[in-house]
Amino acid sequence: MEHTQLVSLVNQLRDETHETEWLEFKENHYEPQLLGEYLSALANSACLHCKPKGYLVFGIEDKTHEVKGTRFNPAKKKGKGNQALQIWLATGLQPNVGFDVYRFPYSDKYVVVFEVNAAIDRPVAFYGTAYIRIGSSKTELFKHPEKEREIWSRRNRHDWSAQICERASIDDLDTKALQKARTEYKAKLPDKAEEMDSWNDIQFMNKVKLSIQGRITNAAILLLGKPESASLITPAVAKISWILKDDKNQEKGYEHFGPPFLVNVDQAFNKVRNLTYRHLPSGTLFPMEISQYDHWVIREALHNCIAHQDYSLHGRINLVETPSALILTNAGSFLPGNVETVIRQDAPPEVYRNPYLAEAMVNLNMIDTQGGGIKKMFQTQMKRYFPLPDYDLTRSNRVIVKIRGEVLDERYTRLLMERTDLDLWSVILLDKVQKRVRISQSEHKILKKLRVVEGRYPNLFVSSRIAAATGDKAGHILNRGLDKKYYQDMILELIREYGPAGREDIDKLLMNKLPEILTDGQKKAKIHNLISELSRSLCVIHNIGSRRYPEWVLSGKNSRYEQVRLKNNKKQ
């Protein structure tokens, strides 16, 4: 860009308002990581504001837009690992939408302009994390799912799954997979069964949205392609990896499955050792036998991975089997934002990452566009009395789903057997309680009204009413704990019997007697409060040691505690 054009550009940028989210002014300070984060944020914000580029300008004061000048020279700076700054930045941008850097004199002072292209078909991340500008602040994009969805919604014209696989032909499709596709299409749309019998393979492919005017798409290779056809869509990766791990997280076996996914999903599923699990329903004498995993739930989770995988990230779909759970991962963020919103709305997602592939999978009876797939997974686990699926959405380019094949808290399981009146949302909250996940105060009120939890918020556990109904009174007592006077009497008895007692002695006495619901840190805090009340409020003990190494002894007959005890003895 010529100097006159650069000057004109800076003049235009200085005329912008202070809350422009695709533009950031800096005076002189620069830090490589922060610079990369700004490039990500500005590229994504430019996309949302329909701007072709975002700008980061050094040498201009942010609030006044006054020209200050800068000593920053990007050509002489280094990124991490002593790599040239611009190369390090370009390597970190994913995808690298491209940026230009200009350093030039402006009003007798030097300014530096970073001009980054707007995100096109997906959010721009910097070394794995995508950023966005909200007003004048930069933040992580995953914290604003509505903005992330909006960026993805603009990629429909760039749908990878709808692109023509130029080197592929009908001969690259697996004949058994093609026949299974016809069978599934008939099952999905029985009214078209007779008509479909007259279609040749090309006509059928056009109808089910796997080819466009007879030309094979990337979606067709994924679902129906021969195993060797995977090379036709490189650098995208078409692979499902089953990995078996033991209880020490060590790999014990693995197998990889490529196209055709329509057939090989079942091959991957068959690798899972679906063992028989036993648990005892309330009021029966014989254990109920049930498989660790529901077949439909596993297939639904795998099909979702295929439909929502971001194939431009060149990752594979993983199905990891541990002794107690299945963990499924796919590349790409979770576009609906969060799982609870999907369950509450119970409606089709507004945005699909691969809309063409998703439509084909609907036609082949693999997924449901009515938005009920995830909700049905939760309902199925609930009806089986197992923990609900866990979705880890904290990573910007990966979705992790954990399906447990064991009972975590028997009281929760028995509760589901007893309380058939509970709705799915209440069970979701109870599932969080059994997993020690903090719920909001408003959610706590819902469970408290149902009388299914007790405890002081946020340390919640199964209520005494449910414990009594399920025969778990002992477990409830352990979680509720005993009266504080009981613990204080134990401390005093320790001092009377053995003389001065240090904090370590008192901890050994009480740590395993306090409620199991408490963490070690919370237990120690409670012991501190018990000692504090005995020494400061009741004056029954006092410290003869140092502050760091206290030693507690009895204070004698004049203590308030002792006076109350003597008064009570006289009444008796």
Query: Any idea what the CATH number is for the domain that residue 558 is in?
Result: 1.10.10.10
On whether both 35 and 69 belong to a single domain, the answer is: yes
Q: Which residues pair with 56 in a beta bridge?
A: 24, 114
Among left, alpha and beta (phi > 0; psi -120 to 50; other), residue 81 is left
User: What tokens does 326 get?
Assistant: 């299945």
Q: Domain range for residue 148?
A: 3-154
Judgement on whether residues 201 and 130 belong to the same structural domain of the protein = no
Degrees, nearest 5: CA angle 441-443-447: 110
CA 397-150-396 angle, to 5 degrees, is 15
Q: Is the same domain home to 297 and 344?
A: yes
Closest CA to 439 of 423, 422, 455: 455
274 to 256, 404, 406: CA distances (angstroms): 19, 12, 11
Q: Which distant-in-sequence residues (6+ apart) come within 8 Å of 15 by Cβ?
A: none
Same domain, 205 and 287: yes
Cβ 163 vs Cβ 312: under 8 Å:
no
Collect all residues with Cβ–Cβ distance below 8 Å to 553 and sequence separation of at least 6: 495, 499, 500, 541, 542, 544
| Residue-level pLDDT at 448 | 86
Q: Which residue, 123, 154, 185, sits at the end of a domain?
A: 154
Q: Where are the alpha helices (DSSP H) in 15-80?
A: 32-48
28 vs 218: CA distance, rounded Å = 48
Question: For each of the chain's 572 residues, which pLDDT tens digit applies?
Answer: 788 889 999 999 998 877 689 999 998 778 999 999 999 999 999 989 878 899 999 999 988 899 999 999 999 999 888 889 999 999 899 888 889 999 999 999 999 999 998 897 789 999 999 999 998 889 999 999 889 888 877 655 578 899 999 889 999 999 999 999 999 999 988 888 889 999 999 999 999 989 998 999 999 999 999 999 999 999 899 999 999 999 999 999 999 999 999 999 999 999 999 888 776 555 554 556 788 999 999 999 999 999 999 898 889 999 999 999 999 999 987 766 678 777 876 655 556 678 899 999 999 989 875 557 888 999 999 999 899 999 998 776 789 999 999 888 887 887 887 788 889 999 999 999 899 888 888 899 998 888 888 888 888 875 655 545 545 555 555 555 566 788 888 899 899 888 899 999 999 999 888 876 677 888 898 899 899 989 888 888 999 989 888 999 998 654 454 545 555 555 55
Has this prediction a pTM greater than 0.75?
A: no
Answer whether residue 55 is part of any domain.
Answer: yes
- Encoded tokens for 236: 């995208």
Position 559 scores a pLDDT of 47
Q: Is residue 385 part of a domain?
A: no
- Number of domains the chain is built from: 4
How much is the pLDDT for 536? 86
| DSSP-derived secondary structure for 439-460 | --HHHHHHHHHTT-EESSTTS-
Same domain, 136 and 255: no
Q: Are 70 and 28 in contact (CB under 8 A)?
A: yes
d(CA 94, CA 396): 11
Asked if residue 380 is part of any domain, the answer here is no
User: Within this chain, do residues 139 and 18 fall inside the same structural domain, yes or no?
Assistant: yes
How are beta strands 461-462 and 398-404 bridged, if at all?
A: unpaired
CA neighbor of 300 nearest in space, from 229, 377, 396, 353: 377
Question: Is 393 inside any structural domain?
Answer: no
Verify that 229 and 314 share a domain, yes or no: yes
- Residue ranges of alpha helices (H) inside 75-198 are 85-92, 145-153, 175-188, 193-196
What is the Cα–Cα distance from 534 to 517, expressed in whole angstroms?
24
What's the CA dihedral at 270, 272, 278, 282 to 10 degrees?
A: -90
- Give the single-character DSSP code of 338: -
**pLDDT at site 414:** 79
Domain membership flag for residue 387: no
Same domain, 335 and 210: yes
Q: By the 8 A CB rule, do 399 and 373 touch?
A: no
Residue with tokens 């866990």: 390
Handedness of CA 313, 128, 148, 27 (dihedral sign): negative
Residue 231 sits in the same domain as residue 206: yes
Spell out the residues 6+ positions from residue 355 whose beta carbon is closer than 8 angstroms to its own.
156, 159, 161, 162
Let me know if residue 388 belongs to a domain. Answer: no
Domain shared by 39 and 134, yes or no: yes
Residues 12 and 83 in one domain: yes
The Cα 60–Cα 73 span in angstroms is 15
Query: What order of strands is seen across the sheet that includes strand 93-94?
Result: 93-94, 125-126, 129-134, 137-140
Residue 139 maps to which CATH number? 3.30.950
Instruction: Identify the CATH number of the domain in which residue 363 sits.
Output: 3.30.565.60
End of a domain among 128, 154, 180?
154
417: CB partners within 8 A, 6+ apart:
281, 282, 385
Q: Which residues contact 43 (CB under 8 A, 6 or more apart)?
A: 54, 93, 97, 116, 117, 118, 119, 124
Q: Which residue has the tokens 């989210």?
A: 21
Q: How far is CA 302 from CA 242, 373, 395, in A?
A: 11, 12, 19
**Closest of 134, 157, 126, 149 to residue 45, by C-alpha:** 134
pLDDT given at position 558:
46
Domain-located, residue 398: no
* 339 and 461 part of one domain: no
Cα-based angle 308, 309, 313 (whole degrees, multiple of 5): 145
For residue 239, what are its two tokens? Answer: 């692979």
Q: What is the helix (H) or strand (E) element at residue 379, kind and residue range?
A: helix 373-383
Domain boundary (354, 373, 392) is at 373
Residue 379 lies in a domain: no
| Burial label, 58 (beta-carbon count in 10 A; 0-12, 13-18, 19+) | buried
Residue listed under structure tokens 């399981």: 413
